[in-house]
Amino acid sequence: MFNANIKQYLVSERISVRVITAILVFFILFYALTILSYYFLPTGFLLGKNSVIDWETSKNLFSSTLQILSYNLMSVSVIVLGNLIAFSNRNNGFIPCGYLGLGAQFATNAITLGTWSFTEAAIVAPDLLDRLLRTVDIFHHAGLWEMLGQLSIMCATARIAILKANGKEEIRKPIKEIRLRKAEMLLAAFGLCLMALGAYIESYSIIFS
């Protein structure tokens, strides 16, 4: 019942319920995986497995910000496209596939942090507490801004599915029937602003560190 309620809250007609539920679910996932990967995976576990690690950005702050934002919007595109398809949650409701993409993004970020799989890996990795505190240092690190931006866009588009599958039964509607309410459009725009801010902070850190 508890699990079913969470699924209902994630697609609630009330956008505030969607956002609050998603924040609780995905940040619990993020911090739990960060701690688990810190203890059970080797340092630098994801080094060489993430193409962005060897990606050299512009030395110009504005250009670098656009580069990072464009790269991060690729994951957002996957999430939004995933939201076009939803599967039954066995409780007369449907869960969009975009939540799987968001979960994968949060999980990757958590393992990256927990195993210190950054370019700074050559430096002595900080202890667990310092790593966790990095996530709330919003003036020097972009992770929280970017994750909140992705989460906001996910919640804003959580009810746009044009294909709903319930076992062998499918419900389809034309893509032209997709409508976002004003609150959803504002939330999506807010999410883009958060991601742009995160890209700026990350660019500034790279260029001036």
pLDDT at 122: 53
Q: Is the pLDDT of residue 43 over 80?
A: yes
Amino acid letter, residue 137: D
Residue 165 φ/ψ, nearest 5 degrees? -110, 130
Q: To the nearest whole number, what is the mean pLDDT of the chain?
A: 90
Residue with the bigger pLDDT between 150 and 208: it is 150
Q: pTM, whole model, 2 decimals?
A: 0.92
Cα distance between residue 168 and residue 190, in whole Å: 37
Strand partners, 169: 166
**What is the DSSP-derived secondary structure letter of residue 17?**
H
Domain ranges of the chain: 2-50+57-208
What does the pLDDT look like over 163-194, one tens digit per residue?
998 877 888 999 999 999 999 999 999 999 99
What does the pLDDT look like over 118-143, one tens digit per residue?
865 456 789 999 999 999 999 999 99
**Which residues lie closer than 8 Å to 27 by C-beta, 6 or more apart?**
106, 147
Helix, coil or strand: residue 199: helix
Average pLDDT (23-36) is: 98
Q: Contact, 38 vs 112, CB < 8 A?
A: no
Helix pair 98-114, 15-40: axis angle to 10 deg:
40
